[in-house]
Structure 1
Amino acid sequence: MSNQRQAPSGILGFPIVPFNENGNIEEKGLIRNIEFLLDNGLEAIFIACGSGEFHALSRKEYERLVELAVSVTDGRVPVYTGVGGNVSEAIEKAQISEKHGADGYLILPPYLIEGEQEGLYEYYKAIIQSTELNAILYQRANAVLQLDALQKLVEFPQVVAVKDGVGNNDLNIELTQTIGNRIAWLNGMPMAEVTMPVYIPLGFNSYSSAISNYIPHISRQFYEALLKGDKQSVNNIYEDVILPINRIRKKRKGYAVSLIKAGMEIVGLPVSRAVRPPIVEVEHEHYNELKAILKKALEKYPPNKKVSL
């Protein structure tokens, strides 16, 4: 665990959780996934978050995932966890994360209830004060902080970043221009590569990448081209990879998770397509569409290490 009050920057890895035929966590597959992300230079590991099916994990499973992520990462990059739901469970998960040496956590929305700003402030405050870990606040669903509430929360030294998963850039401009670099700003929109060109001018220097679970080198090429102002490369990767995958992702609810597992299986990583309800597996037709996209993408943008389809 690091004592640095600094959010990770760059491309953030959000591992999925592989399940075996009995529906249990396949630990060897998870370890391989984390190692794959580390080998490809991702700047942080976020375990048991949305792509890790946070909603469907037992307390015991959650704790085991945190243990594994911290152990495998071994200090090479920061490890963040997902906490959220009702406030008691969120605090418990934050304390589990601290116990096992995580660097911080991402606070997901409270369960179902859409609270007033004062209520959201109290929700976040209770979690933040429960540990000394770094906290990243997630703008998502029924938890969207406005300026006044966020200004009070950033007074806590544990708060190092805000991650936006809403896409309200009127609000983002107000927040980033008023609060500035007192905290970091992370793009957490679905398929964040799609919107990253809009977010960079606002001060967002980092994003969570779903496709990094199976084609991290392409996400890296895209990000580096974006930072260099290489519009032609950005446009090519949009046309060949990002937009086609995003079109499939939008075809069914839950594909934000299950399409990642399909992509990983296609490139030969040790993961099945099994997911937990209410998420559904990728349909056969969409699976084949993704496979065709990845085949062409890997031919045009080959990785350093061989990937087998």
Structure 2
Amino acid sequence: MLFTQIFTPLLSEYLNRLSMIVDNKLNCGPVLSWMEIDNHGNRFLLKEEASLNVPAIAAAHVIKRYTAQANDEISIEVGDILSVIDMPPKEDTTWWRGKHGFQVGFFPSECVELINEKLPQTVKVDALGSKPGVTNTTGPSSPTSVSKKHGKLMGFLRTFMKSRPTKQKLKQRGILKERVFGCDLGEHLLNSGQDVPQVLKSCSEFIEKHGVVDGIYRHSGVSSNIQKLRHEFDSENVPDLTKDVYMQDIHCIGSLCKLYFRELPNPLLTYQLYEKFAECMGEMTEEERMVKVHDVIQQLPPPHYR
């Protein structure tokens, strides 16, 4: 009760300050996912991250009884069958992690014996501490007192690093946002669901309405204005280009367009078709050149062709 009275005001103050900083740029979905709670405050664990659903890499039977001494350990009896999900090298730690029924936890590796010795070579090297097919005459090196003491922690960290969510999962949860500038054109359009990048659409509409001036693409705009606009589009925001600061510096919009095309990993006309476009500049009549250029343009990938 006392803990709640102390903790609640602190959490409330933290969330209020966080709301002031991020404004409306952060919605409820990512916050609930980060905190692993639902909209009622109930804690949940995503299925793909639950330890119980981690695939086993080996099966083992218990040859020595062990009683759990901590919350992250499991008790095992002689004859029990375990699913082993993490087998770090014995020179690093003597603790393995596995599943017994609906329980997941650590147990001493010397208490079990692997049932199937036909493991993948990478796993066998880690588990046995020696190369497959080679007899280890010297035996594994003795664990230091530090590795013995922190064996479970080392095993947990190793498992955590292996089970990190993929880039795609982070994108789906809204945690990782793909940049606009410097991102492959096809990948960006696929992620955003657009036919044309928003930055090009906004800039072209502005230029057609306000930027029909001499040297719109030749003169450079103010660098600070260009960087502000780039940051807005990279943050998936659509800035108001009719603000006075941009209306007084129309060339920064043209410079932003050039910057977008310049930072494409694969240029708009693509590296693959570079030679064919270069051939169009050879000695030929104007009509032949037009036909050849039109033919090469038809070969562009759909995102680049649009």
**TM-score, normalising length from structure 2?**
0.20
Asked which structure has the greater RCO (Cα within 8 Å, sep 6+), the reply is: 1
Larger radius of gyration: 2
**TM-score, normalising length from structure 1?**
0.20
